[in-house]
Amino acid sequence: MTSWLESQFSLNGKKALVTGSSKGIGAAIAQALAHAGADIVLVGRTKESLEATKSAIVNIGRKVELVLCDVSSPDAIKEAFAGIADLKVDILINNAGSISRAPAAETEMQDWNRIIDTNLNSVFQISQACGRAMIVQGSGTIVNIASLLSFQGGINVPAYTASKHGVAGITKALANEWGSRGVTVNAIAPGYISTDNTAALRADVDRNASILARIPIGRWGNPEDIAAVAVFLASPAARYINGEVLTVDGGWMGR
């Protein structure tokens, strides 16, 4: 018999696709969704880069499929996601993302475009591909990984900031269109999470201290802090949440 708790939070029988699942937040989300009962489709640039996450999910006892794709390329996404309807994905996590640090006055357009393609255009294109199939299925849920820079300007990361403001916008736009078709769309805005993406900040002693001083919980977040929230947003318990950008930041935005 299914308990109330299981009926609200279990992902048994679901299939979740996670982009950027080779490491960091994406790898943690893929494993957490597997622990909650979902089979997983890992999306990454190479088979080798996904090996560790794949093994972890097999050890958890769930099935794994791989989709190889460089999400900075619209053509690569088109090709890799052409058969997505056949995979019958219930949960899409748009997590893949990249950052480039340079003052606005010195930012090269090539860098700007790479970040916008990777962090923003891919979110729309992959959501569109999966969302079309979810609309036909009559159900699905999408969780985008936004950022505190969906709300704030940041320092020396103008393209990243623009891309993440865009992710918050897409989240609400798609939620408005697809909520009545059985598909909810939300985002998580992580605070400062200890991954490769933020290694440069932790290596800068002064910057690290100023970041820590503003976090009421008093520590950097870890990928598992975000993964637990992704499980919640993907679960039946979150069925009436739609178009939300949920900050998970140890209290940073409250300061």
Question: In degrees, to the nearest 5, what angle opens at C-alpha 146 toward C-alphas 181 and 247?
Answer: 95
* Cα 147 to Cα 75: distance, rounded to the nearest angstrom: 26
Q: Among 8, 9, 35, 49, which residue sits at the site for ligand NDP (rule: CB under 6 A)?
A: 49
Site mask, ligand NDP, residues 191-230, x = CB under 6 A? -xx-xxxx--------------------------------
The H-or-E segment that residue 246 falls in is strand 245-248
| DSSP for 73-91, written as a single string | -HHHHHHHTTTHHHH--SE
Nearer to ligand NDP, 10 or 227 (CB): 227
Q: Which amino acid, one-letter code, is at 57? A: I
How near is the Cβ of 220 to ligand NDP at its closest, in Å? 8
Q: Is 145 in the site for ligand NDP (CB under 6 A)?
A: yes
192 is catalytic: no
Q: Which residues contact 246 (CB under 8 A, 6 or more apart)?
A: 186, 187, 188, 189, 229, 233
Binding to ligand NDP in span 155-194, by CB under 6 A:
190, 192-193
Q: Which two tokens stand for residue 169?
A: 């916008």
Task: List binders of ligand NDP among 79-98 (CB under 6 A).
Answer: 95-98
Beta carbon of residue 16, minimum distance to ligand NDP (angstroms, whole number) = 15
Please give the residue ranges that form the binding site for ligand NDP (CB under 6 A).
20, 22-26, 44-45, 49, 70-72, 95-98, 118, 145, 147, 190, 192-193, 195-198
